[in-house]
Amino acid sequence: MRRTVGIKIHDLNKLDSALLGMKAFFLLRPKNEFKERVENIMSEGAEEDEEDVRDDFSQGTIDLLAKRAGHTCSFPGCDVFTTGPHTQPNKALNQGTAAHIISASRKRGPRCDPSATPEQRKSIENGVWCCGTHGRLIDSDETSFPVSLLKQWKRDHEDKIRLKAEGRLVTRGMITSISITNLARFEETQRIDFGKKTILYGGASVGKTCTADMVAGLEDIERALRWRDAQFAKERPATISYEVFSSGLMRWRLNFGVETSVQCDDAFVPTIYSGFKVFYLRDVFVPSDVEFDETKYDDTQEEERDAAYTKISNRSLLDDLAKLTGVPREGFITAIQTLSRAPGDFWEHIKIDGENLSAKVGDGYINFRGLSSGEKQLVLLDIFMKLAEFSSRHAPTIFLLDHWAIRSLDDGNLANVLKKLGKLELPFQLIVVLGRIPPLFDRDGWTVFHLKGEGGAFSRSPVSVAAWTGVAD
């Protein structure tokens, strides 16, 4: 840096003397010394210029980053829109910023990496879209916001935007896909890409229960482990691969072979820690003390199933129903009390009186035990949906509705129930397992997959999974 020397000059004579002295000083210095000093100054300036060089994003890269982020901030939990209308009709506001993950500067700045090339620093892979506030925040503390964290934020946010664009994202999370290989009648890998609301349907013994149990295994791995000895070909291991989205995309894998193992993003872990809550409505009956292994029986063996399930006993009705829902008695009662204050989706009014659960029929109320099978099923459907709604406020939630739980509904009533479910705005993911598609089915709002198998219930022929073509069969 240049230094300025202050000289106090009291009169013109002293000024003349000072100028003559300075002239003599410069004339007497060797020329090489001047040349060396000039080169040093130029060199210092060049170093400063090199330090200040930035490899900024092009406008095209900035625009693409914003679009891939859905014009929303990538900071977890923010999601603020970064663009909007200007007061002038021919302009738009932009409050977003294309923040560098690795510093744009070659020698300074947050998360600076001198080994990075200019192309790497200005590439779209090095950018994360943020609002102005969070763009400044991540640059203020590189220790709290390292490169690996920002890259993870970017991946998670873009995955979320992709699911939203596909119309599949549930607020707190969802299972996006499952792939099953060499299990039950799935010989080759069969993949199902779930929507917000998905129907899986097919005839007897085509893997519907197996698939539902695998989904339920996201919360209770024991549901999935019941199938560990049900390989299609015993000499080969079976695998179940999940993709789930909550705060980000996670990949889980179950391996059934000589040993059973669990993997998360390729790392072996003790069990599935998905954080999902799964409500699995399988029947209006409560499991008795008789064991029933659904991995060894098919849908046609109703006598064996009825021997393994008994109607609600003389024990506390609320205790038995709470056991069916899988929530503590107090939580079950809370759901009923909520439904008693407002109509449910499928039943006008439900109430609790002591140990009794009653539903309004006509001008009066009938005890749950006195309802028909179809009426019980609709009451329980309302209760499960309310429990799933409560759960979805705190955790990613899946409601699994099995065809056994609505088997008393004829085609007309089943079509009406599915139509209403398809139109409801639900804060949780809904998966319905059916034996058939009713003739008057309205598929609006649904993703539908058909599980197909040849040879009937006891066949060992492979099963395939395909998106439904829209033709009832």
Residue 374 belongs to some domain of the structure: no
Given a cut of 70, whether residue 33 has pLDDT beyond it is: no
Q: Helix, strand or coil for residue 31?
A: helix
Span 216-231, mean pLDDT? 94
Would you say 198 and 449 are in contact if contact means Cβ atoms under 8 Å apart?
yes
Backbone angles phi, psi at 285, to 5 degrees: -100, 160
Which of 297, 161, 157 has its CA nearest to residue 226?
Answer: 297
pLDDT of residue 8: 46
Residue 227 belongs to some domain of the structure: no
pLDDT of residue 42: 54
Q: Helix, strand or coil for residue 256?
A: strand
Distance CA 290, CA 63 (A): 63
Would you say 430 and 421 are in contact if contact means Cβ atoms under 8 Å apart?
yes
Residue 96 belongs to some domain of the structure: yes
Q: Tens of pLDDT along 402-423?
A: 999 999 999 999 999 999 999 9
Residue 442 belongs to some domain of the structure: no
* Angle, CA 139 vertex, CA 247 and CA 146 arms, to 5°: 50
Residue 40 belongs to some domain of the structure: no
pLDDT category at 6 given cuts 50, 70, 90 is very low
List Cα–Cα distances, 119 to 57, 76, 110, in angstroms.
10, 28, 18
Q: Tens of pLDDT along 50-80?
A: 555 889 999 999 999 999 999 999 998 888 9
pLDDT of residue 185: 92
Q: Tens of pLDDT along 182-220?
A: 999 999 999 999 999 999 999 888 999 999 999 999 999
Distance CA 150, CA 46 (A): 33
Distance CA 279, CA 350 (A): 20
Residue 276 belongs to some domain of the structure: no
More reliable by pLDDT, 342 or 314: 342
pLDDT of residue 292: 47
Of 25-34, 122-131, 163-172, the one with minimum mean pLDDT is 25-34
Distance CA 271, CA 218 (A): 10
Split into its structural domains, the chain has a count of 1
Q: Tens of pLDDT along 258-287?
A: 899 999 998 999 999 999 999 999 875 544
What is the overall mean pLDDT for the chain? 83
Which of 273, 305, 289 has its CA nearest to residue 402?
Answer: 305
Residue 458 belongs to some domain of the structure: no
Span 428-436, mean pLDDT? 95
pLDDT of residue 399: 96
List Cα–Cα distances, 332 to 120, 201, 327, 384, 434, in angstroms.
55, 29, 6, 9, 26
For the chain, the straight-line distance linking the first and the last C-alpha, in angstroms and rounded, comes to 85
Domain containing 153: what range?
59-165
Would you say 137 and 129 are in contact if contact means Cβ atoms under 8 Å apart?
no
Of 235-244, 270-279, 337-346, 451-460, the one with minimum mean pLDDT is 451-460
Q: Give the H or E element holding residue 249.
A: strand 249-256
Q: Tens of pLDDT along 383-398?
A: 999 999 999 999 999 9
Of 74-83, 161-170, 328-337, the one with minimum mean pLDDT is 161-170
pLDDT of residue 3: 44
pLDDT of residue 428: 94
What stretches of 206-348 show up as alpha helix (H) in DSSP?
208-216, 221-225, 302-308, 317-325, 329-341
Residue 249 belongs to some domain of the structure: no
Q: Tens of pLDDT along 127-139?
A: 999 999 999 999 8
Would you say 135 and 74 are in contact if contact means Cβ atoms under 8 Å apart?
no
